[in-house]
Structure 1
Amino acid sequence: MNWYLKALQNYANFSGRARRKEYWMFFLFNILISYGLLILSAVTETPALVMVYVLYSLGVLIPGIAVGVRRMHDVGKSGWYIIVPIYNLVLACTEGEHTDNQYGPDPKGEKESAMQKV
């Protein structure tokens, strides 16, 4: 859940890099919440829940695109690769570059170096 919240905190941050874990945890929680709202609205037959689903989907649209762009940056590609249908899935599953690239420092390296200082 922390990874989901981290992606939401970087609401419209299209610069930098996002680890695979951040991207996929955001994706997982987004799907769980979306389907949960849809199933709940179908079971209870409450039109208000459909509106909550629509508002939620619109609310996470920009963070979803932003975390996807940052994920493309982690593998050393431009954020525009997110619109290429199959290739973006391959890139999202690919391990990021272990060194700094033109989009910023290695997100894994920051955490590991901080742990080594402690």
Structure 2
Amino acid sequence: MNAFINVVKESFNFSGRSRRREYWMFILFTFLISIILTIIEMIFGWEITEDIGILTTLFSLIMLIPSLSVTVRRLHDTGKSGWWILISLIPLIGGIIILIFTLMDSEPGSNKYGPYPKKAA
């Protein structure tokens, strides 16, 4: 939960590096919260349409900037420019490439994006 909170606190920080653990814990908690919100919407009937709920839509909009920033920092950790996030706009292939980049280990030592994050933790 701390990783999720830290990412939300650093929502507008697109510089530096994020470890794999921080990135994937953020993704996990975002996914779990979305499931809980979907269940609440189903129980109370708060859907806008059959497939779109009010709470999940608001949560997704709120999490957009933190998701982008942590992904950019994760790319920085692997030695890639944050601009690589734009490749995700290519259907299917782009998402697979970003997935591979986020699964890669940290670039050892300091790089042009900041110090080695594994030393701090």
What is the CA–CA distance in structure 1 between the aligned matches of 2:106 and 2:38, rounded to whole Å?
Answer: 34
Deviation at 1:30, TM superposition (A): 0.4
What is the CA–CA distance in structure 2 between the aligned matches of 1:15 and 1:109, rounded to whole Å?
Answer: 18
Q: Is the 8 A contact 1:98 1:109 kept in 2?
A: no
Per the alignment, residue 104 of structure 1 pairs with 114
> Match of 1:42, as an amino acid?
M
TM-score, structure 2 normalization: 0.84
User: Does residue 61 in structure 1 map to residue 64 in structure 2?
Assistant: yes
The one-character-per-residue Cα deviations of 1:54-112 (angstroms, maximum 9, x if unpaired) are 2211111000000000000000000111232121110100001120000000111123x
The list of structure 1 runs, each at least 4 consecutive aligned residues, that deviate by more than 3 angstroms after superposition, is none
Q: How does 1:6-85 map to 2 (within 5 A)?
A: 6-47=6-47, 50-84=53-87, 85=94
Query: Aligned-residue CA RMSD in angstroms?
Result: 1.7
* Secondary structure class of the residue paired with 2:55: helix
What is the CA–CA distance in structure 2 between the aligned matches of 1:71 and 1:46, rounded to whole Å?
Answer: 35
Aligned residues: 111
TM-score, structure 1 normalization: 0.86
Query: Sequence identity of aligned pairs in percent?
Result: 44
The one-character-per-residue Cα deviations of 1:7-28 (angstroms, maximum 9, x if unpaired) are 0010110000000000000000
> Match of 2:12, as an amino acid?
A
What is the CA–CA distance in structure 2 between the aligned matches of 1:46 and 1:56, rounded to whole Å?
Answer: 14
In terms of fraction of residues, the more helix-rich structure is 1
> Match of 1:91, as an amino acid?
F
